[in-house]
A and B are shown apart, each in its own frame.
Chain A
Amino acid sequence: MHKRENSSHLIPFIIGGVILYFLSGMVDELRVYQGASIAVYVVAISSIILLTGYSGQVSLGNGALMAVGAYAAAVSHISWHLPIVVCFFIAVIAAALGGALLGAAAARLSGPYLAGTTLALAIGLPSLANQFSILGGEQGLLFDVGFPPLSLGEEFTQYKWFFWIAALATLIMMWLLQNILRSRYGRTWRAGRGNEVAAQLSGINTARSKILAFTLSAGLAGLAGAMLSMTIGTVSPSAFPLALSFSLLTGAVLSGVTTLSGVMIGAVTLVAIPEVADVVAHNLGTSESVTTNLPGLMVSALLILTVLFVPNGPVEQHRARTAKKLAAQSNK
């Protein structure tokens, strides 16, 4: 068992990739587009889970860090015509640098103070783009990764191309992240989250460990931002509203904030909710304002219900229940 924990688990990710590859050829284009959105959310939510669930720091500013990544990718693509892989890499580095700066400040803060600081960032940072003409102001920059290569065939759609890029990036990222979380660093973060004083006593530099978590989390958010702007074709301040940071947080809570394995639940829910709301509103024949506000209402309701009934998320809940059952069995 112990040996398994430390292995790299490469095979499940490869299998996942193969399944996604075949799936992308079977479903219609709307589903492929939604698949790309799910990939974006998976990375963005993981970034919160890493920070909040593992290292115990609250951040409401992930939308802002996504914006940093998105702008970095778009600017490097427009200015230097770099290949998309390099742009994504730059997005990760730029956001990680931003995260390291933020983390240095955050290491001195905790709880509501940290939440407040990151909230201010979420509100303020995206609109900074208005101050620099290279960032294209309110209407933003075009981020056009181009058509899929012709070798993939005439029928190969743009969204399938986006999906492939996003899914691949996500699989690689998740694999890396899972291994980091199982490593010494992951244990250090959990120790710090559990009891900071005890962690310090056992020789952990908790400040450094927090900054590292912030940096990594920001890097992930940056990648999510670059992927998001790829799927919508532009980067603009309005693509990263405060509501984005909040819905990501909701996604993380739905996923179960202390474990990475539920991340799909949050991501799929965030993509599915507008569609479910649409069907509900359509069947009820409600007014425009209800139709518009229904998704927000459903997200909020889910958040409250999750916190009330499965505070650690469905996956963790299931895990705890089976562990309890197992303990009961062995006690007999």
Chain B
Amino acid sequence: MKALHRRKLLTATAVLAVFGLAATAIPAQAAEVGVTSTQIKLGMTLPMTGTASLGYNKIPGAAKAYFDYLNANGGINGRKVTLVVKDDRYVPTEAVAKTNELILKDKVMALLAPLGTANVKAVASSVNPGRRGVPVLFVNTGFSGFADAKKYPTTYTVLPSYIMEAKIMGQYIKENFAGKKIGLLYQDDDFGTDALAGFKTAGINFAVKVPYASGSQSAAAAAGWITKFKAAEADVVILFGVSSATSAMLGVAAQLKYAPQWMLGSVGGDATTIKLTGVPAGVLYNAIGFSPVPATTDMKDEYVKFFSDIYTKAVPGSAFDLNVLLGMNTAFMAAQALKAAGANPTRKSLLAAIDSKGATFANSALVPAAYSKTSHVGLTGYWVGKYSPAGDLSPVGGTYVSYTTDSGAGAVVKTTYKRPAMPAKGLPN
């Protein structure tokens, strides 16, 4: 009898608990989700802790610094923009759980700059913002697949794709290193697949290709990679990997006094991040690098100066680097999209605004964006520079020479793109 009582008690408790949970459910809102008369709510997931967070964990601070400035200057038609940030530790499971919280609990209007190819893919397939009509503005990955509007109807890229970067690198190699032996280090996933596709289109034949699995990069692994590049007598070695892979490679190369002509992909090419891991700045000297936005040390550039001033005031003691510049640039573009979405922005009008006006949004990049009714592609190219003895990337000869291309078979051309002047006070107009 006692057993029966206990079971009844347990069942009753369980049923009560579940109904209690049900009672806390909030009824659907009438107005657009995430938009009130005083506020527009955006959400972001990215690694804020753990090894993968290095460098990237400055992005929310950068974006918030711009939004705070914007809010202090009237916001978007009187609405303040707030950013809810969730740490996914670069784990897809966490990214899905946190994105669910953002959409279903925090009820954000749109997602801003979620980071990582695998994470964005997991979120797309599980949370499925496309089916829910939730805009995913400016994903923080260069995987070309995210521009597929059929598969990801509400997702917009901003960084130039890895394919574009590889094609532009290929063009540069043909012009400057014809006949030299080229080696390539790449990540063995979508990131690397994109790169290989780009180099293939550019017609580059490698003397040696070294793949690595994401997460396997270490000093010991780098020593192994160097053996392969040495054996193939590579003159130019392209490091098309994440920051930790680039840093491991350059660190070990410095010890072994291995010094080919380095060429660094933009993903792992942020000098501040590389130097933070203990790589001597001198190793970077004369390496070739690529970036869509101006050099972060270029205080003559009006955007760089503007963003740098806001950031150093908002986050004292933190270095203004490429992650910060890109983070603020993305926030700046999001602000323009929200402004262009009308007096009472909705998810639909926000998407429509990027389709119709995205290509003309003012931003710091030196290459054009390709947003249109039929394209979710953001920036489309890079300028080529060299690292200084102090390890900073700056344009060769002091002037930016930018190239633009697409993720298909299109040619790589020098761009004549005229960047829009910065709007007054750096506010969307």
Tell which of B14-22, B34-42, B228-236, B310-318 binds the partner.
B14-22
How close is A282's CB to chain B, nearest CB, in angstroms?
11
- A232–B22 CB distance below 8 A: no
Give the distance in Å from the alpha carbon of A133 to the alpha carbon of B189 in the complex: 9
**Chain B, interface residues (CB within 8 Å), range:** 35 or more
- A27–B25 CB distance below 8 A: yes
Chain A residues contacting B2 (CB-CB under 8 Å) are 322-323, 326
Give the distance in Å from the alpha carbon of A158 to the alpha carbon of B324 in the complex: 36
Chain B residues contacting A318 (CB-CB under 8 Å) are 6
Give the distance in Å from the alpha carbon of A268 to the alpha carbon of B14 in the complex: 10
**Chain A, interface residues (CB within 8 Å), range:** 35 or more
Chain A residues contacting B48 (CB-CB under 8 Å) are 288, 292
Chain B residues contacting A228 (CB-CB under 8 Å) are 93
Q: Is B104 engaged at the interface, CB distance under 8 Å to the other chain?
A: yes
- The tally of CB-CB contacts under 8 A between chains A and B is 120
Chain A residues contacting B125 (CB-CB under 8 Å) are 142-144, 233-234
Given A23-B22, A292-B49, A233:B96 Cβ within 8 A: yes
Chain A stretch 260-291: residues in CB contact (< 8 A) with chain B: 261, 264, 268, 274, 278, 288-289, 291
- A234–B49 CB distance below 8 A: no
Residue in contact with A241 in the complex, picked from B91, B126, B189, CB distance below 8 Å = B91
Give the distance in Å from the alpha carbon of A274 to the alpha carbon of B94 in the complex: 11
Closest partner residue, chain B, to A29 (CB atom)? B104
Give the distance in Å from the alpha carbon of A238 to the alpha carbon of B215 in the complex: 10
Closest partner residue, chain A, to B49 (CB atom)? A292
Give the distance in Å from the alpha carbon of A316 to the alpha carbon of B123 in the complex: 40
Given A28-B26, A30-B100, A137-B189, A237:B131 Cβ within 8 A: no
- A31–B118 CB distance below 8 A: no
Q: Is B277 engaged at the interface, CB distance under 8 Å to the other chain?
A: no
Q: Is B298 engaged at the interface, CB distance under 8 Å to the other chain?
A: no
Closest partner residue, chain A, to B212 (CB atom)? A130
Q: Is A332 engaged at the interface, CB distance under 8 Å to the other chain?
A: no
- A268–B17 CB distance below 8 A: yes
- B215–A127 CB distance below 8 A: yes
Q: Is A196 engaged at the interface, CB distance under 8 Å to the other chain?
A: no
Q: Is B321 engaged at the interface, CB distance under 8 Å to the other chain?
A: no
Main secondary structure of the interface of B (DSSP, over half): helix
Q: Is A108 engaged at the interface, CB distance under 8 Å to the other chain?
A: no
Chain B stretch 179-219: residues in CB contact (< 8 A) with chain A: 188-190, 213-216
- A232–B17 CB distance below 8 A: no
Chain A stretch 36-56: residues in CB contact (< 8 A) with chain B: 37
Given A139-B189, A239-B93, A322-B6, A19:B15 Cβ within 8 A: yes
- A158–B25 CB distance below 8 A: no
Chain B residues contacting A261 (CB-CB under 8 Å) are 10
Chain A stretch 1-54: residues in CB contact (< 8 A) with chain B: 1, 4, 12, 19, 23, 26-31, 33, 37
Residue in contact with B213 in the complex, picked from A4, A130, A239, CB distance below 8 Å = A130
Chain B residues contacting A144 (CB-CB under 8 Å) are 125
How close is B224's CB to chain A, nearest CB, in angstroms?
15
Q: Is A313 engaged at the interface, CB distance under 8 Å to the other chain?
A: no
Q: Is B372 engaged at the interface, CB distance under 8 Å to the other chain?
A: no
Chain B residues contacting A12 (CB-CB under 8 Å) are 7, 11
- A236–B92 CB distance below 8 A: yes
Q: Is B154 engaged at the interface, CB distance under 8 Å to the other chain?
A: no
Q: Is B117 engaged at the interface, CB distance under 8 Å to the other chain?
A: yes
Give the distance in Å from the alpha carbon of A232 to the alpha carbon of B10 in the complex: 31
- A291–B87 CB distance below 8 A: yes
Give the distance in Å from the alpha carbon of A139 to the alpha carbon of B189 in the complex: 7
Q: Is B348 engaged at the interface, CB distance under 8 Å to the other chain?
A: no
How close is B143's CB to chain A, nearest CB, in angstroms?
10
B101-122 CB mask vs A (1 if < 8 Å, else 0) is 1001100000000000110011
Chain A residues contacting B240 (CB-CB under 8 Å) are none
Chain B residues contacting A238 (CB-CB under 8 Å) are 90-93, 118, 215
Chain A residues contacting B215 (CB-CB under 8 Å) are 127, 130, 138, 237-238
Give the distance in Å from the alpha carbon of A319 to the alpha carbon of B26 in the complex: 37
- What are the nearest 7 A-B pairs in CB distance? A233-B126, A233-B125, A138-B214, A139-B118, A30-B104, A130-B213, A28-B25
7 A-B pairs besides A1-B3, A31-B22, A261-B10 with CB distance below 8 A are A4-B3, A158-B126, A232-B96, A238-B90, A238-B91, A238-B92, A239-B92
What are 6 A-to-B residue pairs whose CB atoms are below 8 Å? A130-B188, A137-B214, A232-B126, A236-B92, A288-B48, A288-B49
